[in-house]
A and B are shown apart, each in its own frame.
Chain A
Amino acid sequence: MKEVELINILEKISSDERYTLSFEEEMHLKEAFSHIPLLDEKPGENVLNEMEERLFSKSIIFEKTEKRIIHWRRYLSVAALIAVLFGCGLWIKSMDMKFVTGSNEQLAFMLPDQSEVKLNENSLVEYNRFFFYFNRNINMAGEAYYVVTKGQKFTVETPTHLISVLGTRFMVSETDRFDVFCYEGKVLVESLDKREKKILTKGRSFGSDKVMQENQPNWVSHKYVFNSAPLVDVLEALEEEYKVSIENKNYYKEFVFTGTFPTNDISLALNIILAPYNMSWEQVQSNKYRIKNN
């Protein structure tokens, strides 16, 4: 009976292309085919395991490892960035320059652009060598005289005012009250709160309208500027300037001095020179001086 059925099915299929088999008829055909021992390549369990391992355990597929790698890399790059920024910060910070003078001290130094700064006693100048290259900007307190070489805008900031120039000579003083004196060129002075603003030309000062005759502040001596000079040379220069002699100057060959001394006050000059070494002096005769070790 089944045989007849199967033959009927085959007849139907071959006689009519459009004939669609019923579900039951299809089952019969499948049943018949299922007895044909077809060679069907089966992957061994080892092959399946190997494929599964490659897909899952070693995780070509799974995102969590992908994410972990990405995260790890991201953290690493963030850490590297922080380290680099921190390093740059330290490096820039290391270029902070600070010049301070105590009582009876003066200091003269050059800025990286060859501008000169002379610092009177009890004063402070700060700048960063790195940023100065891009932006000539200086913070100060006390009293300082500037000879600015021509170039980009040069700015001096005090706790209260902002002074900007291009190339000029000027003095800033804020010891008693704030004042700026312009000896050459033009200076713009602004208070930090922007309420006061004044342009100073040669001979003018910020505090008064009277015209000055001096060419530089009276505390500044242009004549003598020492940079790590042997103390004996400094003392010889002082002897020359004041027409005096200093008896035991040769004992201090090993000392070096950086700075300047005024040319109008021998007591102040000696104080300035000797203070860093904790030494004092006495006057032996009218034009003879002796250095004392304290």
Chain B
Amino acid sequence: MRISWDKLKNSDEQEWKSLFRQHAEFLYAYGMKFAHNEDLVKDLIQELFITIYEKRNSLSEPTSMRAYLCMSLRNRLINEFKKEVTVPLEEGDCSFSLYIDDESADEEEKQYKKIQNLLNKLTNRQREVVYLKYFKGLSNEEIALTLDINKQSVANLLSEAIRQMKKDASFILFLLLILRRILGL
């Protein structure tokens, strides 16, 4: 469902609820990748919506609402980390963790473990880009907006990540395994 920016501007409560419902789950999952702290993530998402609501009249409609929300949440999280950490936080140095759900791992358990190791070898930034691109389906433009970098840097980060993973043969094996399953072999 497309959210109407005009309705948001006019404080249409139903429209704000739709906006919240549409993005809350995604933002929650994304935020939890930075810090496994449910209360912090919940608070920041709420603050985020309140701020956008208050600023709605001076804001122009974001080209991608999802990317805009991601970017805002990300900046808020980074600000929180900066408060906690005494040593200044380098850009892109905030942790971003991806975990394979081992509950669902059955006979391919070993394979999944390997994938987990692959993901762990990536830098925080690469993991983040891979997550947004391949797991969440954001476009390069949206990722560029979220991380506040240019589109080319996004492409570079993605290809670096793939190359890094490809170094390990198990990645190919895993992909083949998946493909076989898709093809019903």
Binding site for B on A (CB under 8 A): 2-3, 6-7, 10, 13-14, 17-20, 29-43, 47-48, 51-52, 54-56, 60-64
Contact = CB atoms under 8 A, between A and B. Distances in A.
B100 interface: yes
A13 B99 contact: no
Given A2-B182, A3-B176, A17-B156, A37 B24 contact: no
B179 A32 contact: yes
In this complex, the member of B21, B135, B159, B175 whose beta carbon has the largest number of chain A beta carbons within 10 angstroms is B175
B172 interface: yes
A10 B100 contact: no
Q: Give the secondary structure class of B's interface.
A: helix
Interface of B: 11, 13, 16-17, 20-21, 24-25, 28-29, 32-33, 36, 38, 42, 45-46, 49-50, 53, 98-101, 104-105, 112, 115, 130-131, 133-135, 137, 155-156, 158-160, 162-163, 166, 172, 174-176, 178-179, 181-183
Given A19-B159, A47-B38, 7 more contacts: A17-B156, A30-B133, A40-B101, A47-B42, A51-B24, A56-B17, A64-B11
Nearest to A43: B28
A258 B86 CA distance: 87
Contact of A14 (B133, B134, B166): B166
A13 B163 contact: yes
Contacts of B16: 55-56, 61
Contact of A38 (B101, B156, B162): B101
B177 to A, nearest CB: 9
A43 B172 contact: no
Nearest to A50: B42
B32 to A, nearest CB: 4
Nearest to A52: B20
A126 B113 CA distance: 102
In this complex, the member of A19, A31, A38, A54 whose beta carbon has the largest number of chain B beta carbons within 10 angstroms is A38
Contacts of B46: 51, 54-55, 60
Given A51-B45, A55-B49, A10 B172 contact: yes
A30 B32 contact: no
A36 B118 CA distance: 12
In this complex, the member of A51, A54, A63 whose beta carbon has the largest number of chain B beta carbons within 10 angstroms is A51
A101 to B, nearest CB: 70
Contact of B175 (A30, A32, A47, A51): A32
B16 to A, nearest CB: 7
B172 A38 contact: no
A42 B24 contact: no
